[in-house]
Amino acid sequence: MAKIAPNVHDPRGRKVKILATIGPASRSPEMLEQLFRAGVDAFRVNMSHGDQETHAQTIASIRALEKQVARPITILCDLQGPKLRVGTFKDGKAVIRHSGHFTLDNDPAPGDETRVCLPHPELFKVLEKGQRLLIDDGKLRLRVIRAEADRILCTAEVGGVISDRKGVNVPDAVVPIPALTEKDRRDLAFAVQHGADWVALSFVQRPEDVAEARKLMGGHGSLIAKIEKPAAITQLDEIVELSDGVMVARGDLGVELNPEEVPPIQKMIVETARRVGKPVVVATQMLESMIESPAPTRAEVSDVANAVYDGADAVMLSAETAAGAWPVEAVTIMDRIAGQVERDPGYQGRVHYIRTPPDATTADALAQSAATIAQTVTVAGIIVFTGSGSTARRVARERPSVPMLVLTPSLKTARRLGLLWGAHAVHTRDIGSFEEMIAKGKRMALRHGFGAAGSKLIALAGVPFGTPGSTNLLHVVTLTGDELKEH
């Protein structure tokens, strides 16, 4: 069994966050607590599997854990998105001959080795000669010879066994279907009703997909756009601008793109999000072998380490914690990898390879100044007072060399910051004066392990207090060690 962290009030000792998917292997209250204490900062509820009743129980268990450990815990609900699938076959399956012809049509009759129904009429309107159709996660590859109103004739570049209702990917065309299905709309309403902190939107192809989801959310929760379609790459800046964060969903990206294209695109997505100061999550197959094995491969360790070196805000575990045999061990090892990378003397140089110039605002200038002071003067951390979390995001964009203690009167803000690099969020009462700010900041820093007597900290806030977007104050404070005795 993995070693359990003794005191959850202490900062994790790393700045990158761990997002773990909940499933049959991990949804019990006991396992949720073990995962949290092993290092999980945020839990992903995958709406593609299970029913809403089960998900409601999971969310309730996470909120109960939150009260038990007195720490805000982040919940992300991940929408399934539309799934393109072929129809059925006479014998449940068929063999498509390599280099042979195969037809996709609108005939609902069971298919055979020459044809099958494609129950998605919108595809017949957009597919053109030369475009690809990838079936069963790319195991079968078809190339369009001729597309007509009721049938698509293809040649099989890679043949093989095809069975009932296998998934279809269309990498070369923008599919004219919305990112939100009726199921997604129901699940989105469920996520909002149950107070999800983040909602992840699948099948994003264009900025309009993000705008529609945001409208349906009605200001509740934050929105992550999953970048898993090649079409999204062409409008990445606009999609990131409309989102609160992005996810590099390497599963579908790896199906629809050549394998060698995925690493540079991952870096481009991370850089785009970091440049504008929005959280970016790297997801899918990070420690895949740990679904069955108690130890990862060396390649998987390098993969996680590279995402941390790139400055990703969070790294995600999927089936490793949802259905794997070693969920706590997977979290523990990911925690160890991240911690080791961040202790590397070369880490700061690598994480700043991506330039994130500040906007021409007082708040951005102060955030940059805080990071610069942290490099020049020995400080234990940066204390950020914020209502909306925007100041914390500005500081995180600078990837300072010290951790960030975020004090906020908003529990919703504290929870959402579970996906923000370097942020240790604390829900606390609001402040009303400069003196109260300094006293509370020093007290909370000692309580949460940010330094000891004699340590210096940088405090960032806005005056007048309680006014959104008013960050205009930077102050360096010194802990005496007596702050806790005074209260």
In the chain, where are the structural domains located?
17-81+178-346, 93-169, 362-478
- Return the percentage of the chain with pLDDT > 90, whole number: 87
pTM for this predicted structure:
0.93
Model confidence pLDDT, tens digit, residues 308-327: 999 999 999 999 999 999 99
Number of C-alpha atoms within 13 angstroms, CB side, residue 415?
Answer: 19
CATH T-level fold of 93-169 = M1 Pyruvate Kinase; Domain 3 (2.40.33)
Average pLDDT, the chain: 93
Model confidence pLDDT, tens digit, residues 425-452: 999 998 888 888 889 999 999 999 998 8
The two three-digit tokens of residue 333, written as one number: 């090892």
| Eight-state DSSP code of residue 470 | -
Q: Is 37 helix (H, G, I), strand (E, B) or coil?
A: helix
CA angle, 354 then 359 then 361, to 5°: 145
Whether pLDDT at 462 is above 90 = no
Cβ atoms of 143 and 132 within 8 Å: the answer is: yes
Pairing of strands 280-283, 314-317: parallel
Average pLDDT over residues 173-179: 92
Query: CATH says 362-478 is which class?
Result: alpha beta
Whether pLDDT at 6 is above 60 = no
- What pLDDT is stored for residue 435 in this prediction? 87
**For the residues of 103-119, what is the DSSP string, one character each?**
EEES--S-B-SSEEE--
What percent of the residues of the chain are helix, what percent strand, and what percent coil, each to the nearest 5? 35, 25, 40
* pLDDT band for position 486 (cuts 50, 70, 90): low
Dihedral (CA of 90, 96, 97, 100) sign: positive
- What pLDDT is stored for residue 476 in this prediction? 94
For residue 24, say if its preceding peptide bond is cis, omega within 30 degrees of 0: no
- What pLDDT is stored for residue 464 in this prediction? 73
Q: Is 154 helix (H, G, I), strand (E, B) or coil?
A: strand
Surface-to-core class of residue 50, CB atoms within 10 Å of its CB (0-12 exposed, 13-18 middle, 19+ buried): middle
Homologous superfamily of the 17-81+178-346 domain (CATH): Phosphoenolpyruvate-binding domains (3.20.20.60)
- What pLDDT is stored for residue 329 in this prediction? 98
* pLDDT band for position 11 (cuts 50, 70, 90): confident
> Which position has the token pair 């475009």?
131
Distance, CA of 416 to CA of 73 (rounded, Å)? 8
By annotation, the residues acting in catalysis are 44, 85, 226, 284
- What pLDDT is stored for residue 5 in this prediction? 34
Model confidence pLDDT, tens digit, residues 87-129: 999 999 999 999 999 999 999 999 999 999 999 999 999 999 9
Instruction: Say if 17-81+178-346 and 362-478 have the same CATH topology.
Output: no
Phi, psi of 149 (to 5 degrees): -65, -25
Of 168 and 354, the structure prediction assigns the larger pLDDT to: 168
Whether pLDDT at 273 is above 70 = yes
- Return the percentage of the chain with pLDDT > 70, whole number: 96
